[in-house]
Amino acid sequence: MCRIKIASLQLKVLEDKYDNIEKLAEMIAYGAAEDADIISLPEMWNCPYETKRFPGYAEPEKGDSWLALSTIARKNAKYIVGGSIPELGDDGRVYNTCYVFGRDGSQIGKHRKVHLFDIYAHGEQVFKESDTLTGGASFDTFETEWCRMAVNICFDIRFPESSRIPALKGAKVIFNPASFNMTTGPAHWELAFRQRAVENQVFMVGTAAARDPDASYTGYGHSIITDPWGRVLMQMDEKEGVCITEIDPAYADEVREKLPLIPARRTDVYDLCYNCHTDQEV
């Protein structure tokens, strides 16, 4: 199994959607030039991270942001894990959605954030995504030339099932575009990614936007990649930039062979049931 080069794009999000698309294209050109295989983007990369503004930026599948990512993937012959954008669903609701594109620009995956970020951080911060967003209802995987992979988004990582379900389906790499803040980031960012990597013996790829101290929501930044043994392979600071990290998906097999956690599950005592279209139970 070949090694994979992942380009983490930690961009500073601007007010104008099309300025963000243009900046993204420039940063991806750099990542592609560095021979990255997969481009990983942040959560809500095309709009400010403000709940009340998500509906105004929302666009349907195959809208302008979708088309930009598809075109860039095809022109550069790269996979793109498209962070997330506000999606206007066919039902008229708005979702926090990640699209995944193959080298030919075709959509090979999609994840709608399941767990919405509604918090009351000891009076320091109040944020309710549920005011304008609707949660998704599945944790699906997608196939690549290397291995099976998956996506969950930001707050999803705090729920063990969000990573365990893809791992049970065979995922070895799980992407988590995220926007932790200055309260939750220092406390839990690295811990969460190492924890999910160890539990599920997968690579966890967390990509965040660069910190903007003038924004109403100040993100933590610190895009990160952890390996199946729980080690931090890469962690950026808060500034805008691109970081290329090489991973070996075969290492997940090695760790799982040495420490066979998933086969050791006591499914006679407990089990994880879920609905995800065709799969009903593991």
**pLDDT (0 to 100) of residue 14:** 96
Assess whether 43 carries a catalytic annotation. yes
**pLDDT (0 to 100) of residue 278:** 44
Q: What is the pLDDT of residues 212-249, one digit of tens each?
A: 999 989 999 999 999 999 999 999 999 999 999 999 99
Q: Domain tally for the chain?
A: 1
Q: Which of 47, 98, 147, 154 is catalytic?
A: 154
> Model-level pTM greater than 0.75?
yes
Domain that holds residue 207: 4-281
CATH number at residue 40: 3.60.110.10
Burial of 46 (0-12, 13-18, 19+ CB in 10 A): buried
**pLDDT (0 to 100) of residue 119:** 75
Q: Which of 12, 17, 23, 43 is catalytic?
A: 43
Q: Which of 17, 23, 78, 113 is catalytic?
A: 113
Assess whether 240 carries a catalytic annotation. no
Q: What is the pLDDT of residues 96-137, one digit of tens each?
A: 999 999 999 999 999 999 999 887 755 566 678 889 999 999
**pLDDT (0 to 100) of residue 124:** 60
C-alpha 96/C-alpha 148 separation (Å) is 22
**pLDDT (0 to 100) of residue 123:** 59
Assess whether 113 carries a catalytic annotation. yes
Are 174 and 200 contacting, i.e. CB atoms less than 8 angstroms apart?
yes
* 127 to 29, 52, 76, 162: CA distances (angstroms): 34, 10, 37, 21
CA-wise closest residue to 139 among 157, 153, 152, 154? 152
Judged by phi (left if over 0) then psi (alpha if -120 to 50, else beta), residue 230 lies in: left
**pLDDT (0 to 100) of residue 282:** 39
Are 39 and 242 contacting, i.e. CB atoms less than 8 angstroms apart?
no
Q: If you average pLDDT over every residue of the chain, what do you get?
A: 93
